[in-house]
Amino acid sequence: MTVESAFAGMRNVAPVVFRAGCPDCRGSFELAAGALRLAIGATSRTTFYSFTCPQCGASVRKPAGERIVELLTGGGVRTLRLHSTV
């Protein structure tokens, strides 16, 4: 099998983008996976995603439930697993 035949029929895939909003400036925008960070903690209180608002520059941190975690990890967002020291 050649490389050409192995990849025959595959199409270019559009990059994943996520819709987000800033609580400071109330801006609404789309962010690439590389602009977001996901932190997964031991509880829902320590699981969140963050980004910098492209409109006002504010650092934004929002809670991430199970569905959000699934979407972000599936879309290639860089993830940090927080471990308890206890």
* Per-residue model confidence (pLDDT) at position 11: 65
pLDDT of residue 10 exceeding 80: no
Closest among 40, 77, 82, 38 to 61, alpha carbons compared: 38
Give the mean model confidence (pLDDT) for residues 40-68. 95
User: Are 31 and 77 within 8 A, CB to CB?
Assistant: no
Pairwise pLDDT comparison (8 vs 31), residue with the higher score: 31
Burial of 37 (0-12, 13-18, 19+ CB in 10 A): middle
pTM, two decimal places: 0.76
Closest among 58, 66, 53 to 20, alpha carbons compared: 53
pLDDT of residue 86 exceeding 60: no
